[in-house]
Structure 1
Amino acid sequence: MPQQALVRPATPDDAAAIAAIHITAWQAAYAGIIDPAFLTALDLAKRTQRWQHLLTRDNQSTLVTISGEEITGWVGFGADDEVPADCGALKGLYIAPQHWQHGYGTRLLTAACTRLRQLGWRHAGLVVLQDNHAARAFYERAGFTTNGVAQPHTVGQQILPVLQYRRPLDTSRV
């Protein structure tokens, strides 16, 4: 990862870049998992509008990583009912596909776990599509574990299995 890369809170001005990363990362990561028609139909204008609304309400729970002037990825975090009640949730972590394998995901994950710990959470939790082997390996390398019990999750018209992961937020791992 370039030395000048940094992590900062997202702002409403970042909405279009975050939306574009959200869509392109989904299309690349979920090819062969999620219905191609659903992935093709993802709408940048609608996604940008959604992100503008979210970031106007609360820009303290989304972080972006930047290299030069370019936003390369984002992570959302906070409370979420998809993870156990004692876990602060990682709600999404996506990197622009052209920046995969450059350390941006690790940088964002570390920053989000640090923030969750600062907010008083003792554990971090997340859900991952069972067939998303690359993401599962990434989180497992970062110390997350799963009990292996798949739960149904609706994506478009599909019901796909997700696995719940969790990890303690002790200071030795963040």
Structure 2
Amino acid sequence: MVVREAIPSDVPSVAKIHMDVWKDTYEGIIPSEVLSQRTYDELEDSWLDRLFEDPDTKEFMLVAENDDGDIVGFIVVATDGDEGYRGVIKSIYVYEDYQRQGIGTMLFNAALDKLVEEDILNLIVWTYKDNKNRVFYEKMGGKVFKEIVVEIDGRKVGKIAYVWDNIKH
């Protein structure tokens, strides 16, 4: 498994992972109408614009590529801050067949290394409280910082923030 910076030609694979894992992870948490509204093409356009066409982007993406050259996971981190934390995990998704094999950890640690290189030493991530995979953030040393309730298509959904006050290791 190799973790590397994403390039524009990775975007179709990233959009597929994003859509497929997002739907599986958030089914029953986010209203199904919202889950069914996204398309692969929209996600591709969004990732291309956000990461590769916006000269002022404050985000970077790392991908995990298996031995066959297939992308099986990715992480996106912003450096524009939230709640006083300079690093912000925007997305981390790994295909279900590749979960619990250390790939998320590899992506997370590579992102931390990149943040430290940019002298960004703290981090926050928001996730849905009912996301069964949020224990990953606890495993990675995240501490519960804040809980809120948001409304998505008329449904109240709990969100929780995990923080790392010092990511330098």
TM-score, normalised with respect to structure 1: 0.85
Q: 1:60 to 1:89 in 2, by over 3 A?
A: closer
1:61 alignment partner, SS class: strand
Q: Distance in 2 between matches of 1:157 and 1:23?
A: 22
Q: 1:55 to 1:152 in 2, by over 3 A?
A: same
For structure 2, list consecutive stretches of 5 or more residues without a partner in the other structure: none
CA RMSD of aligned residues (A): 2.0
One-letter amino acid of the structure 1 residue matched with residue 125 of structure 2: L
Structure 1 residue 34 displacement after superposition: 1.0
1:49 aligns with 2:45: yes
Given that 2:6 and 2:62 are in contact with CA atoms closer than 8 Å, whether structure 1 keeps it comes out as yes
The residue that corresponds to 2:91 in the other structure is 92
1:164 aligns with 2:165: no
2:157 alignment partner, SS class: strand
One-letter amino acid of the structure 2 residue matched with residue 163 of structure 1: I
Given that 1:10 and 1:59 are in contact with CA atoms closer than 8 Å, whether structure 2 keeps it comes out as no
The residue that corresponds to 1:110 in the other structure is 109
Given that 2:59 and 2:79 are in contact with CA atoms closer than 8 Å, whether structure 1 keeps it comes out as no
The residue that corresponds to 2:33 in the other structure is 37
Q: 1:156 to 1:20 in 2, by over 3 A?
A: farther
For structure 1, list consecutive stretches of 5 or more residues without a partner in the other structure: none
1:63 aligns with 2:62: yes
Structure 1 residue 49 displacement after superposition: 1.4
Structure 1 residue 162 displacement after superposition: 1.1
2:87 alignment partner, SS class: strand
Per-residue deviation, residues 146-172 of structure 1 (Å, max 9, x unmatched): 13x32234545544221111112121x
Q: Distance in 1 between matches of 2:2 and 2:58?
A: 17
More displaced 10-residue stretch of structure 1: 115-124 or 149-158: 149-158
TM-score, normalised with respect to structure 2: 0.87
1:112 alignment partner, SS class: helix
Per-residue deviation, residues 44-92 of structure 1 (Å, max 9, x unmatched): 11111111222323597111010021001111112245x3223311111
- Which contiguous aligned blocks of 4+ residues in structure 1 show a shift greater than 3 angstroms? 152-159
Q: Distance in 1 between matches of 2:153 and 2:75?
A: 22
2:17 alignment partner, SS class: helix
Structure 1 residue 38 displacement after superposition: 1.8
